[in-house]
Amino acid sequence: MIAAMRKHAALALILLLYLAVGALYAIKTPAWQTPDEPAHYNYVQQLANGRLPVIQPGDYDQEFIMRVVFAGPPFPPEVSLEPMSYEDWQPPLYYLLQTPVFWLSGGSLTALRLVSLLLGAGVVALAYGLAWRLLRARWLALTTAVFVAFLPQHLAIMASANNDALAELIIAATLFVLVGWVEVETGDWRLETPQSPKTLIFLGLLLGLGYLTKGTVYPLTAVVGLAIVWRYWGRWGELVRAGLWTAVPAGLLGALWWVRNMLVYGGLDVLGKAAHDSVVVGQPRTAEWVAEMGRTAVLRAFISTTFNSFWGQFGWMTTPMDGRLYPLLWLFTAVWVAGLIVALVIWWDRKRPSVLAVVLLFLTFLLTLGVHVVYNLTFVQHQGRYLFPALLPIGVGVSVGLGVWLRPFLRRWPPLRYALPLGLGLAMVSLAVWALFRVIVPFL
């Protein structure tokens, strides 16, 4: 036990620092000044009052939102925010988790934010664990944890009342379990060791809990499915059994929500999305922007705003960081992406780590990016936080891509490897604290 604590003492320090800086975000960020926070809060409030929300006409009022968020001083205290209930279509698990907190705290927004922050600590710990399982290098695992913990926009979202925190925790847990399941040393990139159904059942339970949390978890179904097909390809009986071990618990949990939605909204609207889309009348549409600005301008806005808000564009996308920072962050991104390409070529040649594990992480990123792109074909939602479901694969990519440039020097100076998590940690903590006190607090 003591040896294990010493072994992971640096992770404990990262988590403590994450909680400290995140608590500052939760306390200092003005009320409601994270995306959709009033609507998430109202969902919890309805559950606390004994009613499971149903999205209906009137829950989304674009004119009201423009008036209370963007026109004049935001969120005037004399204006009730109860009309902002357009998250009522969301699955209930996060909000059920927050309901006792709402009761015990008297409806404190800060208390709800701090619970989200604790869920985010689990995401950071699992990011470390995932990178350790995949790379077997503590310095790269620490670098991954640092990136996930102190990305300013991610901190802002984890320290808000928002179901993203629980959804990311479930995604992180699923990827952690999945990589542990496939990351086995073999000579032909295939798993031949008999597997217990316990892992498959657990993966199914995680997926089912994800179905009850947020739609961002659904793409993981394809990731888990690919792993099972890859593992059992050619052994069809085992493939069917493995699929059932995972699909049955996932489907039974998901059916609790899907059947309810069909009964409430009618037809085959199992996710409630058709009901949602019929209610959010007035939300900016991509076709309108294209007609007004042209495809090229809209594409440029999509790329630049997505990138900027991935790092930090706070409030309701109204408060960016200093514009001089973003070119530096583009350069940082180019450096780690180039390093990742070099590392993948080296690892592919050596067949380490497991090709399947790498493919699964890359698929998670591609599916998350694809959902973001497809959603923006209809609605204008150029928010980088929609890439956070793939933050663990991105964090692993950052650590590997930066680490490859240090490798030529490590044989002569082995301790130099820990300069990477330390240096990146100092830079990102500084950026996160600066963003809070110089961007968020003064301007929101």
Q: What is the pLDDT of residue 3?
A: 52
* Under 8 Å between Cβ of 416 and 354: no
Domain residue ranges of the chain, discontinuous segments joined by +: 42-332+343-443
**What digits encode the pLDDT tens for the residues 12-24?**
999 999 999 999 9
* Under 8 Å between Cβ of 153 and 309: yes
What is the Cα–Cα distance from 104 to 172, expressed in whole angstroms?
29
**CA-CA-CA-CA torsion sign (365, 369, 375, 377):** negative
Largest separation between any pair of C-alpha atoms in the chain: 68
Buried/exposed 298-329: b ≥16 CB within 10 Å, e otherwise: beeebeebbbbbbbbbbbbbebbbeeebbeeb
What is the Cα–Cα distance from 403 to 344, expressed in whole angstroms?
12
Residues in the chain predicted with pLDDT less than 70, given as ranges, are 1-6, 184-196, 348-353
What is the Cα–Cα distance from 354 to 129, expressed in whole angstroms?
16
Other CB atoms within 10 A of residue 198 CB = 9
* Under 8 Å between Cβ of 361 and 109: no
Q: What is the pLDDT of residue 354?
A: 80
Q: What is the pLDDT of residue 407?
A: 87
Residue 123: which of 91, 103, 101, 149 has the closest Cα?
149
Q: Please tell me the total number of residues recorded for the chain in this structure.
A: 444
Distance of CA 79 to the CA centre of its chain: 32
Helix (H, G, I), strand (E, B) or coil at 236: helix
**What digits encode the pLDDT tens for the residues 328-372?**
999 999 999 999 999 988 876 555 668 889 999 999 999 999 999
Task: Identify the residue whose tokens are 């695992």.
Answer: 141
* Under 8 Å between Cβ of 99 and 44: yes
Whether the bond between 353 and the residue before it is cis, its omega within 30 degrees of 0, is yes
Q: What is the pLDDT of residue 410?
A: 86
Region of residue 266 (phi > 0: left; psi between -120 and 50: alpha; otherwise: beta)? left
